[in-house]
Structure 1
Amino acid sequence: MELSQKKIYNDIEEIKTTIECSKRKLSGPYRLFLGYGIVQGIIFILNLTGSIIWNPDNGIPYFNFAVEMAGAGAVVILYLLVYGREKHTSNKYYLTAISIWGLIAAILPFLMLAARLVIIVWGKNFAVHSMYLLEEYKMLINMLLVCTAMIMTGYVVDKKWLTVLSMLLLFCFVIINIFPDVYYSLSIKGIERQVTLAGLFYLLVNIWGYIGLGLLLYREKKNADI
């Protein structure tokens, strides 16, 4: 009798764990994606403001660097806060997914900083070209990251069109990069600045893509009360 009761108890616990693991979790991804998109938008606005206030050769590179590092720090704090709230969930697949995305998003800016330092120290003869390539790699990795976020969101909220959209955006980004000479000219304080079509596309996706995902997840969370 005692063994039967113990077996029933274990079966109940296993069923509860299975149910918990199958639940959709929306709080963590919605906070991560919405917060990340807002941080990227703030970085863009601050950099644009700096370009208006300062000339390109008068402090703006240092200002942009400070803004980028402050944004990276904000992303790290955001990830740690969200992970701290979600780490006790029994849905290990969900926790693994947000951990992988969050770690890459948080660590990437510091990896790029380390790469820049290596280029400055050992690559003086080809520093300009290397920095340009590094920026392209950064954009590509971030595009892959936002596409991964879309696929994750599509799976969680059962919207397959998000997966299709992620593949389409990545394809468009690759095609646009084939034509690097296509750019827009902006005049700020009488100084011409050029923005490539790929860079403009990247900014739109990296900011509004995450904000859109965050708002979508928030709406689903509100409707499902999860």
Structure 2
Amino acid sequence: MDKRLTQYRDAVYEQVVKVGKSLGNVTRLRILDLLVQGPKTVENLANTIGLSVATTSRNLQILKRANLVTIERDKNFIMYQLASDQLKQLVTLLVSVAEQSQPELTAAQTTLAQQSGSPQVLTLEALQAKLTVPSTYLVDLRPVDEYEIQHLPGAHNIPYDELPQHLAKLPHDKEIVVYCRGRLCAYANVASQELHDAGFKVATFNQSVWEWSQVMPGQTD
């Protein structure tokens, strides 16, 4: 084989491996999954993940060296964001592949659904149909900053941590549909159980706003 071809292939595969290595870590994958929701500071990411700012920053630098995240200054803050929308596709695809190839993942999802007693998990199409009727009350459980970037049409923002304070304001004559950050986020399942136990008719949507926007273009607020 031509030596030039061997050198070329070794070199380009090494660059692909560099991306793979940067993804092969739970913390860094969680960071990427959070950044699918929108730009965040290192402090915001650290607080959400439950790690120190120093540890979070080290992992962000690895992602930055692999050109998977970029930084942008917003007044006195440094915001981290995904380098391209392709990374949103990549994170979503990784989850889908893992669901198909790793039975432990689907078992964990099933166990969570059983433990949380989720009465109904909606597909994209099922949610779209429910949003056409006034008897559906859609709740976005994400933090305010993520909701303001993009949310499902007509969704009311009640961050998960504030849900108990809002129970008295939710309509009992409508079906409450809750969603959060996607399939790796358990907040929607847990919230649906809490709402169900409080006497509400409730359903869960476990896909992300970004996934919705890819199937239902133009149908976000």
Say yes or no: TM over 0.5.
no
Higher helix share: 1
* Structure number with bigger Rg: 1
Q: What TM-score comes out, normalization by structure 2 length? A: 0.32
TM-score scaled to structure 1, two decimals?
Answer: 0.31
Q: Which has the higher strand share?
A: 2
